[in-house]
Amino acid sequence: MDRVAPEGARDKVAAEASRRRTFAIIAHPDAGKTTLTEKLLLKGGAIQLAGAVRAKGNARRTRSDWMKIEQDRGISVATSVMTFERGGLVFNLLDTPGHEDFSEDTYRTLTAVDAAVMVLDAAKGIESQTRKLFEVCRLRDIPIITFVNKMDREARDPFELIDEIEKTLALDAAPVAWPVGRASEFAGTYDLLERRFLPVDADDSAAIDLNGLDDPKLEALVGPERAAALREEAELAEAGLNAFDLEAFREGHLTPVFFGSALRDFGVGHLLDGLSCYAPPPGARAGDPREVQPGEEKLTGFVFKVQANMDPNHRDRVAFVRLCSGKLVKGMRLKQVRTGKQVPVNAPLFFFAKDRQVAEEAWPGDVVGVANHGTLRIGDTLTEGEELNFRGVPSFAPEILRHVQLEDPMLAKKLKTALDQLAEEGVVQLFRPLDGSLPVVGVVGQLQLDVLQSRLKVEYGVPARFQETMWSMMRWVTGEDRTALERFASLNRRDAGEDHDGELVAFFGSDWRRKRAEEEWPMLKFHAVREQHGLVAAKR
């Protein structure tokens, strides 16, 4: 096995880890995430991939039958990973589905990144989905870089946009670029930190160094009116707005703000420079019983997504593993801590925008796909033998609960297998009511139900319908007092069940009933979020 030689191995791991920037783009649909992704890939030299992001969308839609829903709805449900290199750094961009209905996947993807780029439409500012995604980033204080996109069009006043970020997200914002001219008069940006002018429609390297804002070159470059406006605004900005502070950014308390136009390929290089310089490399990750440092020699990682049938020619399941320490090489055997099983990693996959490629090695911050037959589950920790579990891959209490009803009762066994597999993949959450009634599936949005129905039929040949339940919410129930837990379970057999991992859950018809239960059972805890493997919800 081609393992790293012990001598200097730690240094090598630490050096490779420090070259990684693993990030996601969060945006409200239409803000320009796809366009920006294309341009970032282009900048990263992955030219053959650029333009493939959109094409990938179409190709992806034809890849397997269940994805027909994506085609019908014109949205992307799958998550993928794109890797590109620039300036000696390796960027891993984890794509997140933007549709507001299908957000659990997105939440989990955000557990695997070290930074996020928040794309705003300059005319719209913070939109509903931006806010939701931001809140998820805040759960882990993920550092966020803001890219105000579509500056080539009618845009809102930059002061107003910055104020909106600060007020609606309770996040300090520091402009690092300032737009010169607006809409059709947009001439480029002034780099407030480097004191350079970046002209629109010019190469990234075409930045023009200035001797501060008073440099007379400015008039020649943008004309007297825009120069005067810039001077006034930039001075106001420097005096009245937050200055960039790397530490505050890395702690998730301050966002640097870039302005540009993804469509015109303007400001994207500047943004990428910002990602290179400011976004953190992989850091220490909280685990049980200890924190893991990225530079450690031994490999650790966790599964944040499982996807089936990404390619009809490979009807396996692929677990997306984010590496947290050590080096991964082909042929390694890793321990799945939950079960103690050994998982062979014979052909780790990188997910470039176009094809799956076999990787030779991977380092902390990288994401690899591990093909398996359903052994690996979301939240699983993989190690070289250590008993360790990473925290922070959450399940959210579903908001829609439905009984699954078979059209053909002879298929009950097949349905069970199908539901078990789909629950492992995280497509739905599955609950078995304690009174033995029909299984209950829980989802956060209607779209997830459509995906489930389609996949049950197409992949497993089990046509099924969903039947309303009398519940509108569920909670995981935990408590130190085992007798109380047992008593709760036996008194509420009709409104309680077990989740896929055997954890106790309670169903409620209304928020009022939930509150009642909390009052009646003060010794128990009712959780809306559960981390994998009982770190929030302890075993019964």
Are 396 and 436 spatial neighbours (Cβ–Cβ below 8 Å)?
Answer: no
Residue 96 CB, nearest approach to ligand G4P (Å)? 11
Would you give the binding string for ligand G4P spanning residues 143-162, x where CB under 6 A is met? Answer: ------xx-xx---------
Calpha distance 531→537 (Å, rounded): 7
Nearest to 240 by CA among 172, 184, 181, 139: 172
Calpha distance 48→279 (Å, rounded): 26
Would you give the binding string for ligand G4P spanning residues 217-256, x where CB under 6 A is met? Answer: ----------------------------------------
Residue 262 CB, nearest approach to ligand G4P (Å)? 4
Cβ proximity to ligand G4P, 149 vs 255, nearer residue: 149
DSSP string, 199-233: ETTS-GGG-EE-SSTT-THHHHHH-HHHHHHHHHH
Examine residue 27 and tell whether it contacts ligand G4P (CB under 6 A): yes
Q: Is residue 373 a known part of a binding site?
A: no
Choice from 111, 146, 261, 448 touching ligand G4P (CB under 6 A): 261
Q: Is 313 exposed, middle or buried (0-12, 13-18, 19+ CB in 10 A)?
A: exposed
Residue 190: phi, psi to the nearest 5?
Answer: -100, 125
| Residue appearing with tokens 């947009």 | 186
Site for ligand G4P in 292-311 (CB under 6 A): none
Of the candidate spans 65-73, 208-216, 260-268, 470-478, the one that interacts with ligand G4P by CB under 6 A turns out to be 260-268
Would you give the binding string for ligand G4P spanning residues 96-135, x where CB under 6 A is met? Answer: --x-------------------------------------
At 429, the amino acid letter reads Q
Q: Is residue 98 a known part of a binding site?
A: yes
Examine residue 31 and tell whether it contacts ligand G4P (CB under 6 A): yes
Cβ proximity to ligand G4P, 83 vs 96, nearer residue: 96
Examine residue 381 and tell whether it contacts ligand G4P (CB under 6 A): no
302 to each of 112, 319, 367, how far by Cα in Å? 9, 9, 10
Of the candidate spans 26-34, 161-169, 427-435, 532-540, the one that interacts with ligand G4P by CB under 6 A turns out to be 26-34
DSSP state, 311?
A: B
* CA 239 to chain CA centroid, nearest Å: 35
Number of residues that bind ligand G4P (CB under 6 A): 17
Q: At what angle do helices 158-169 and 224-240 cross, to 10 degrees?
A: 20
Choice from 21, 22, 23, 34 touching ligand G4P (CB under 6 A): 34
Residues contributing to the annotated binding site for GTP? 95-99, 149-152
Binding site for ligand G4P (CB under 6 A): 27, 29-35, 98, 149-150, 152-153, 261-264
